[in-house]
Amino acid sequence: MRRAIVTGAGRGLGRAIALALAESGADVTAVARTAADLETLEGCRALACDVTDPAALAALPEADILVASAGANVPEPFLDVAPETFDRVLALNLRATFFTAQAVARGMVARGRGAIVLVSSQMGHVGAPNRTVYCASKHAVEGLTKALAVELAPSGVRVNAVAPTYIRTPMTAPFLAERAFERATVAAIPLGRIGEPDDVTGAVLFLCSPAAALITGTSLVVDGGYTAQ
């Protein structure tokens, strides 16, 4: 049985990914900072862990699959961004992703196999107003994906990213609650709808599976055509 770790599994995309991997037969360790967020996550082992603390990552078990899904977004005009906001978003979206991958990849390299999927965003491929910090963090994740893929390939470890458009999750709910914002977002997506978590889980399962055995260093954009324009 494949062993998988999913961070950010308490809610949103991370939760959906953890459940999908468990349903596919993986032995899933679901990781979130708050233990209460994991209590109703069926079919997974719960592990409360602050992934922004590199020392805490020693508690992560060995795994064949890592999906680094913990992330945050604080939309603000560029001229108003405070250093504290920049540091908080980069600490979770980039620094935590980097050191989580490092902690888990050590075991993968020792065993000569593994699949890592970093949850990026369509904003890792384009720019957008009021999202300078988020875009910077996700562009960095895209670069990290490529660099890790090249470095870890000789050890049999594949590294890819999945880059969703706006998906209905607790993180995007406040933005999409503004009707004008939702209408403009739908209009910018050629397929004409906001994504659902299930739209992303299939992409993650594919990248983790033997069907993607020759795929590494790429980003699978699940965006309804947003970045094709």
**Chain-centre distance of CA 166, in angstroms?**
13
Question: Residue 182 above 80 pLDDT?
Answer: yes
- Judge whether 202 lies within some domain: yes
Exposure on the CB side of residue 208, measured as CA atoms within 13 A = 30
- In the set 138, 146, 166, 226, the catalytic residue is 138
- Write down the pLDDT at residue 122: 97
- Judge whether 51 lies within some domain: yes
CA 68 – CA 49 distance, rounded (Å): 13
- Write down the pLDDT at residue 24: 96
- Judge whether 138 lies within some domain: yes
pLDDT tens-digit readout, 50-74? 999 999 999 999 999 999 999 999 9
Q: Residue 73: give the domain boundaries.
A: 3-167+196-216
CA 21 – CA 17 distance, rounded (Å): 6
Decide if 197 contacts 13 (C-beta within 8 A).
yes
Domain count across the chain: 1
Q: Kindly report the CATH number assigned to the domain that includes residue 207.
A: 3.40.50.720
- Judge whether 184 lies within some domain: no
- Write down the pLDDT at residue 175: 83
- Judge whether 222 lies within some domain: no
The arrangement of strands across the sheet holding 27-32 comes to 44-48, 27-32, 3-7, 65-68, 114-119, 157-164, 219-222
Catalytic, 134? Answer yes
Exposure on the CB side of residue 150, measured as CA atoms within 13 A = 5
- Judge whether 188 lies within some domain: no
**Residue 110 CB-density burial (10 A; 0-12 exposed, 13-18 middle, 19+ buried):** exposed
- Judge whether 156 lies within some domain: yes
Please name the residue ranges forming H helices in the chain.
12-23, 83-90, 96-111, 132-152, 173-176, 179-188, 197-208
Catalytic, 146? Answer no
Taken in order 163, 169, 175, 178, the sign of the CA dihedral is positive
Taken in order 140, 164, 54, 57, the sign of the CA dihedral is negative
Give the DSSP letter string of 146-174: HHHHHHHGGGTEEEEEEEE-SB-STTTHH
- Write down the pLDDT at residue 63: 98
- End-to-end, the C-alpha distance of the chain in Å comes to 41
- Judge whether 29 lies within some domain: yes
Structure tokens at 3: 């062993």
pLDDT tens-digit readout, 7-63? 999 999 999 999 999 999 999 999 999 999 898 899 999 999 999 999 999 999 999
- Write down the pLDDT at residue 189: 97
Question: Residue 132 above 90 pLDDT?
Answer: yes
Structure tokens at 134: 């988020």
- In the set 134, 146, 166, 226, the catalytic residue is 134
